[in-house]
Structure 1
């Protein structure tokens, strides 16, 4: 029975990957809106019903792999080691993904991955769904944090989750910008790691004096600049 279940699971994984690959190829060739689910099913040699047995929507034919990572953030803090802080656990998992050139943190320079990413960026329906998955990931993280703390710390769970996910998202976007510009993942990795380390340090230790203006460059200077504008307008 164990072998039968294992074989069944392997077949389901293979079918899911075939659907993702087939759909992506059609979408990249003809455009997302120009390809129907029925056409994907035909190309993958399965029924339309089979497609929806594996995917809940047309968007998931592209974003299914992303959907599978929704729980990663929550899992990283749920499985933290004894004595390990939430930030340390989240950072450890994120850094491991960076060093593994994982697509989930924007570190894969495989042409296919970049093409699919570009498709998502250029397709409103996919972009909306991708943002929804990010929101769900943050919500699951906040729930996990609240469940593992109590009192005032539990009340701060949504704030902490937002901060951690913001680091993840910002580094992810930084990586993609450089990969789309033609750099390799190997070239981007050292800067991505350094950026992530600095960003997590801000979360861990607080913003402190980040962004403090030099003495004499604060409100007084701004007021002076603002005072000059009416005079210029009057002269006109």
Structure 2
């Protein structure tokens, strides 16, 4: 009784991944704007409706881990250790993902990075995702009991804006170095001291806050 739903879910995940993989390959080969949903469906051997059921927005076929990305900073804050400051948790998490060469912080490979850079649609969508990442972080930092018009309610938004700006800067830096032909290990080596500087500036800027 419990196996069938599990197999069904596994099959759905396999189909979703297959569609995403086929889409990414075509986007890289042909360009995002030039590739149609019908071509993706044909490559994945599924119906066009199946593609749109799994991915209502074409952009999500390329940026298919958008939910993980937009909620990442907020989850780090929510899951931090007792007594750990939010900024300390975020710095720890960034350094871990940097060492892992994670796509979440910008390690996407030169072909994928070029595909996004060359597409106005994907570039705009990535900006939207960064905005959502900032909004979810602000919610995680907020005091649920604070009056919306108070300084206590505004301060988390200000902190989130500063942290998100630094997050975007580091993401773009990784993308720049990727497009410049640097290897992941070289990018990690270059970003380590730059991240030191960024987080030191954030710590100074947020010194009087609870962040």
**TM-score tier (shorter):** 0.7 to 0.9
Alignment of 1:143-158 (within 5 A): 143-147=139-143, 150=146, 152-158=151-157
Q: Which residue of 2 aligns with 1:74?
A: 74
Q: How far apart are the structure 1 equivalents of 2:184 and 2:144? A: 36
1:155-210, Cα deviation, whole Å (9 max, x unpaired): 211111111111211111112212221211112212212211221111112289xx
Q: Which residue of 2 aligns with 1:221?
A: none
Deviations 1:115-151 (A, max 9, x none): 1221111111111111111111111111111146846
Q: Matches of residues 25-174 of structure 1 in structure 2 within 5 Å?
A: 25-108=25-108, 113-147=109-143, 150=146, 152-174=151-173
Structure 1 stretches of at least 4 aligned residues deviating more than 6 Å after TM superposition: none
TM-score by length of 2: 0.88
1:2 shift after superposition: 4.0
Per-residue CA deviations over 1:41-70 (Å, capped at 9, x if unaligned) read: 111011111111111211111111234321
Q: Could you say what secondary structure the match of 2:70 adopts?
A: coil
Q: Which segments of 5 or more consecutive residues in structure 2 lack a partner in the other structure? A: none
What's 1:11 paired with? 11
- For 2:83, what is the secondary structure of its paired residue? coil
CA distance in 2, matches of 1:196, 1:83: 23
Map residues 135-214 of structure 1 onto 2, 5 A cutoff.
Answer: 135-147=131-143, 150=146, 152-206=151-205
5+ unaligned residues in a row in structure 1: which ranges? 209-236
Gap change, CA 1:56 and 1:87, over 3 Å in 2: same
Larger radius of gyration: 1
TM-score of the aligned structures, taking structure 1 as reference length? 0.79
Give the match's secondary structure for 2:186. helix
Q: Distance in 2 between matches of 1:76 and 1:57?
A: 27
Higher relative CO (CA 8 A, sep ≥ 6), structure 1 or 2? 2
Helix, strand or coil at the partner of 1:64: coil
